[in-house]
Structure 1
Amino acid sequence: MTAPATPEGAFAAEVEARFAQARQIADAVLFEGYVLYPYRASAAKNRLRWQFGVLVPPGYGADRGEHFHQRTECLAEPRPGDRLAVELRFLRARRRTVERALPGGGFEETDELELADRVLVPWDEGVEQRIELVVPVDELDGEVVRPFHLPAGREVERLRADGATVGRLLRRWERTDGLLRLTARDVPGPYGVRLLTAVVENTTDWAPRPDDGRDAALARSLVSAHLLLGLDRGSFLSPTDPPEWARAASAQCRNEHTWPVLAGPPGRDRVVLSSPIILEDHPSIAPESPGALYDATEIDEILALRTAALTDREKREARGTDERAGAVIDLADSMPPEVLERLHGAVRGLREITGNAPGQPWWDPGDDPEVDPDHDRVLVDGREVGAGSRVLLRPGRRRTDAQDLFLDGRTAVVEAVLHDLDGSVHLAVTLEDDPGADLWRAQGRFRYFQPDEITPLEAP
């Protein structure tokens, strides 16, 4: 006879279902940059690893530009008796060394060990860790603290070929400690909104020696750390695009070394993913993507073709570098042509275009009398802006390229006013203090901002 489900069990099952959907993108965050093409430890780009969401021991990061904490703040509308589910996810470095068997017995460390199907090399493996917590929202009026302690350890894996021991792998991991702090406070207003704060800290008590570098710190760090937050019955407000009545309160949220967004399918608002990588609300993996390639700075099609073209020796080294790298090799080698073809591009939407004469391009900006990039003007804050106007750049957080955020507060000159087919206006600009501005101008290469991302200045 099956026991009836308890309210706690039903909530746990529902939260797990919601988090499972969010983990599809959270896994991409967790392993972003884990191993890059050509997926070999010997490649230069795989020698400096783990750049996102790394929380180092506090004794290491103070004067090295590293961080030991993340702070997430977002607005929530909990209901009476609501509960908050929290899942902290990160990778823990497990250092692997390779030893070959000696003829007379014993082992010695080596830079590589060739086996029939792979070439084993030293490598730091990433092991997923989860810290889970469920707490009534009412208890967050006072600070809720959840410490965690991960002990050091060691394991040995013997390697055999043709019935004989040919070597072994030694894996070691260091003690890592941390804690999760949760608080909430009411936001003034009629809607019962609360500002939720979640802080993740690495509290590992480790004093580095003068010769200890980043590799030593990584062995005691929380790598690719991110949070999943879920409410039982209430909802979250979008941190990047809140409703108008909540914009002032949302602007007061302080997020440090992380970026919260609504997660799960569009239209759902009960889960937030707080990521060290800038994302938009409801991010998703493209349905055409056949598997994880760990290198989102590249296009899947290019990576698949390049990976399939690696030599047999390179593929064996990739398989010996990491199991995930070996899975990428197997994926590229087994990808059928129809799957590869889908990676070339996808149409997300169509609309009808009418009115063009036979043989004439459906739209040619050079023949459109209604647009003139060199002379068109657009009204911004009551002032006309066009080619030659000086402007102050104020990139928006919601839709801008991450690199444009570094240009906040810089001054630029408008080169052209451009209109796209959706009716949006874009300003092509060059930076005033860029020594290469004349070169970019001659080549027609500009930076682009929308009118609400600039402030007009006086004429040059």
Structure 2
Amino acid sequence: MKIEHIKEIADAVLYEGYLLYPYRRSAIKNRQRWTFGVVYPHAYSRTRCDTEPWKMQTECLLQGTKNTQLTISVRFLHLLLNSVVQYDHQSALSGQTSAIQRQIQDEWEEGVAREVVIAGIKLQNLLDQPVQEQIAFAGRYVSATTTDATIISSAREQQDICGLVCISASKVADAVYKLSISIENDTPQIGIDPGQREAVLLYSFISTHTILQIERGQFFSLLDPPAQLSEPARACQNLHTWPVLIGDAGEQNAMLSSPIILYDYPRIAPESIGSFFDGTEIDELLTLRMMTLTEDEKEELRHGDVRAREILERTESLSTEQFMKLHGVIRSYEWQQPAQEGKESYGESI
């Protein structure tokens, strides 16, 4: 499977829980966001006795030779804080500072996709010495002020974040190796109250996951490893992540290490018309729910998050033919051993 198709599945992980139906920031369920794959700053984690992870670790098994090469892609969301403050124009002109600020009109976070790619890693070299790659993304601050009947000040703010990716390998058996990948958040926190989780999230890696690709070698499933590798597979220590084979069924040249538990070879249903930020829900159900939004709710959504607005526009432009394709589909029937003699049963694979 091409990396573009792999990333379509990985993006479903990246944006899982990004913003849930009814896709309004005022909705209660969207006031506690960013719960998947969070790698917090190490300094914050220490204040919480390491109950909040500052490190994510993937371990898996592969078969390779001296010619085997690896490409490791670490992906996550880097939060950007939007805020809009509305001022009373006349009060501002008269200098009545106590009455200037009328209300905070809005404050919300968006997720900006980040990726660190380490390509051309030779397994032979990796056995001799671990490979390290810095994670470093600069923040930014953009502000604007408009004046009409009111004064509206808006700002988009993003913090600097930094960390480290460390990749190592060790021999397990003849031509079989254990690959270890750790992702650490070393972002320093300056003047942040460790009790303010929402503020700390601006310095965190969100929805963190890893794509592993191999050339002239193959990965082994940790869910269903070969019998002779069952013990080494059980010995792999995966912290806050879950590696599975990805690609077309039977392929073993790529893995997705996800903060969400998946089976080998996860797929996006071909009937799906786009992401709804919730892979555990049914597209048809979410589409129907979108259609029940009131005009006021739709208006709030249109003036909110760009990605959520795209969901609304996509739903409103959905054709009858596209909608009918969203109905449940039975992919195949799998025969199961009858529980009692004389009885037959079928398991549905959907």
Provide TM-score, normalisation by structure 1: 0.67
- Which of 154, 160, 163 lines up with 1:169 in the alignment? 154
Secondary structure class of the residue paired with 1:272: strand
Q: Is this contact kept in 2: 1:60–1:208, CA < 8 A?
A: no
Q: 1:269 maps to what in 2?
A: 252
- Which of 303, 314, 330 lines up with 2:286 in the alignment? 303
How far off its partner does 1:108 sit? 5.4
Could you say which structure has the greater relative contact order, defined with CA pairs below 8 angstroms and 6 or more residues apart? 2
Correspondence list, 1:151-190, <5 A? 151-156=138-143, 167-188=152-173, 190=174
Secondary structure class of the residue paired with 1:233: strand
The 1:350/1:138 distance shift into structure 2, 3 A limit, reads: closer
Q: 1:126 maps to what in 2?
A: 111
How far off its partner does 1:314 sit? 0.5
Secondary structure class of the residue paired with 1:279: coil
Give, in whole Å, the separation in 2 of the partners of 1:313 and 1:329: 13
Give, in whole Å, the separation in 2 of the partners of 1:186 and 1:258: 22
Secondary structure class of the residue paired with 2:262: coil
Runs of at least 5 residues in structure 2 that lack an aligned partner in the other structure = 94-99
Secondary structure class of the residue paired with 2:65: coil
Q: Is this contact kept in 1: 2:333–2:346, CA < 8 A?
A: no
Q: Is this contact kept in 1: 2:60–2:233, CA < 8 A?
A: yes
How far off its partner does 1:290 sit? 0.9
How far off its partner does 1:293 sit? 0.6
How far off its partner does 1:61 sit? 2.3
Q: 1:246 maps to what in 2?
A: 229
Secondary structure class of the residue paired with 2:230: helix
Q: 2:306 maps to what in 1?
A: 323
Q: Is this contact kept in 1: 2:71–2:118, CA < 8 A?
A: yes
Amino acid at match of 1:111: I
Determine if the alignment matches structure 1 residue 49 to structure 2 residue 33: yes
Give, in whole Å, the separation in 2 of the partners of 1:42 and 1:263: 36
- CA distances 1:351-371 after superposition (whole Å, capped 9, x unpaired): 99xxxxxxxxxxxx9xx9835
The 1:154/1:422 distance shift into structure 2, 3 A limit, reads: closer
- CA distances 1:340-390 after superposition (whole Å, capped 9, x unpaired): 2221211212699xxxxxxxxxxxx9xx9835xxxxxxxxxxxxxxxxxxx
Secondary structure class of the residue paired with 2:6: helix
Q: Is this contact kept in 2: 1:176–1:204, CA < 8 A?
A: yes
**Identity percentage over the alignment?**
35
Amino acid at match of 2:172: V
Q: Is this contact kept in 2: 1:92–1:222, CA < 8 A?
A: yes
Secondary structure class of the residue paired with 1:75: strand
Q: Is this contact kept in 2: 1:39–1:321, CA < 8 A?
A: no
The 1:102/1:84 distance shift into structure 2, 3 A limit, reads: same
The 1:350/1:149 distance shift into structure 2, 3 A limit, reads: closer
Q: 1:313 maps to what in 2?
A: 296
Q: 2:3 maps to what in 1?
A: 19
- CA distances 1:85-138 after superposition (whole Å, capped 9, x unpaired): 1110000111110133653689958433xxxxxxxx321010000111122222
Tell which deviates more after alignment, 148-157 or 266-275: 148-157
Secondary structure class of the residue paired with 1:187: strand
How far off its partner does 1:226 sit? 0.4
Q: Is this contact kept in 2: 1:122–1:321, CA < 8 A?
A: no
Give, in whole Å, the separation in 2 of the partners of 1:24 and 1:75: 24
Provide TM-score, normalisation by structure 2: 0.87
- Which of 42, 45, 51 lines up with 1:61 in the alignment? 45
Secondary structure class of the residue paired with 1:303: helix
Secondary structure class of the residue paired with 2:181: strand
Q: 1:193 maps to what in 2?
A: 176
Give, in whole Å, the separation in 2 of the partners of 1:158 and 1:331: 32
The 1:40/1:248 distance shift into structure 2, 3 A limit, reads: same
Amino acid at match of 1:91: L
Secondary structure class of the residue paired with 1:250: helix
**Larger C-alpha radius of gyration, 1 or 2?**
1
- Which of 193, 209, 212 lines up with 1:226 in the alignment? 209
- CA distances 1:57-82 after superposition (whole Å, capped 9, x unpaired): 11212326311111100011123222
- Which of 19, 44, 49 lines up with 1:35 in the alignment? 19
